[in-house]
Amino acid sequence: MIHALLAVLFPVSCIGCEKVLLDQETHICLNCELELPVTNYQNETNNPLAKTFWGRVKFEFAFAYLVYKKAGLVKRIVQAIKYKGNKQLAYDFGQRLGRQIKLQIHQNGVNALIAVPLHPKRLKQRGFNQSELIVQGIASVTHIQNKSEYIKRTVHTPTQTAKSRIERWENVLSIYEVDKQLFQQNGQCHFLLVDDVVTTGATVESLAKELLKMGNCKLSVAALAFAP
Ligand SMILES: [Zn+2]
C-alpha cells in the first residue's frame, strides 16, 4: 500500500526512455530491456573484448555484458551510475553481469574479484567507485570474495582524451599500490578484474601487468560494457 502510494507520488522513470516504470520493472522498462545490446560473449571464447587484449596481456577469459555506443541506452545507464550516483543501478547490473558468467567464474576457479580502482581524488569527487559496486553485485550472485580493498591508485593521470593508445598506456603505467597480502591465500589465485566501461583496455592492461609483476596468478576480466 505504502509502496503503491509512493509510486504515485514519486513515479520512477525508465533510464532509457523516461516512461514511468510499472511495478514489476526496475531501472528500465520492458521495451528498453528488449533493446539492451547484450553481448553473449560468455558463449564466445575469442570474443571482441578478448581479442582486444591479444598480444598485450593473457586473460583466462574476457567478458563484457553490454556493447557501449556513443549514444543510446548503455551510455545512459553508465551516466546514471557515474554522474547521477545511481548506486543501486550499478549493483543490480553487477548482478546481471555475474549471472551471465557464474559458470565461467566457477569452472575457471576465480577466487577473488577486484574492481579497477579510482584515483583517490576522483573517488572523493564521486563518493564511490562504480566498478566496486559492480563487483559487489557480482559477489552477491557468485559468492566470490571482493578483494578490491587490496589495491589502490596512487598518481593522478591527466585527462586521457585525444591521446593515442601507446600514450594512454604509458600514462597509466605503475599507478597502482598492491597489498602483498592479496597473494597470500592458499597458493592458487585467479583474479577477476572488473571495470565499468572498457574502451582501449589500457587501464585494465596496466593493472593486470602490475599484478603479474607481483605474483604468480591467473587473471580474467569482466566489464559492464565494452566499446569496440
Ligand atoms: Zn524504457
Output the CA 140–ligand 1 centroid distance in Å.
26
Find the 12 Cα to ligand 1 centroid distance in Å. Answer: 11
In the CATH scheme, what architecture does the domain 37-226 have? 3-Layer(aba) Sandwich (3.40)
Task: Identify any residues that bridge with 113 across adjacent strands, giving them in sequence order.
Answer: 146, 192
Contact of 216 with 185, CB cutoff 8 Å: no
Domain ranges, ordered by start, for the chain: 1-35, 37-226
Q: With beta carbons less than 8 A apart as the criterion, state whether 11 and 20 touch.
A: yes
Taking the whole predicted model, whether its pTM rises above 0.75 is answered as yes
* Average pLDDT for 96-122: 95
Strand pairing class (176-178; 190-198): unpaired
- Which pLDDT value is given to residue 197? 97
Residue 47 Cα to ligand 1 midpoint, Å, equals 28
HSE (side-chain half, CA atoms, 13 Å) at 208? 23
Q: Which three cell numbers stand for residue 206?
A: 596496466
178 CA → ligand 1 middle, Å: 41
* The pLDDT of residue 139 is above 90: yes
- Whether residue 216 contacts residue 182, with contact meaning beta carbons closer than 8 Å, is answered with no
Q: What average pLDDT does the structure give for the chain?
A: 90
Of 84-93, 129-138, 167-176, the least confident: 167-176
pLDDT by residue (tens digit) across 162-199? 556 655 555 555 688 888 888 865 568 999 999 999 99
What's the 30 CA to ligand 1 centre distance in angstroms? 7
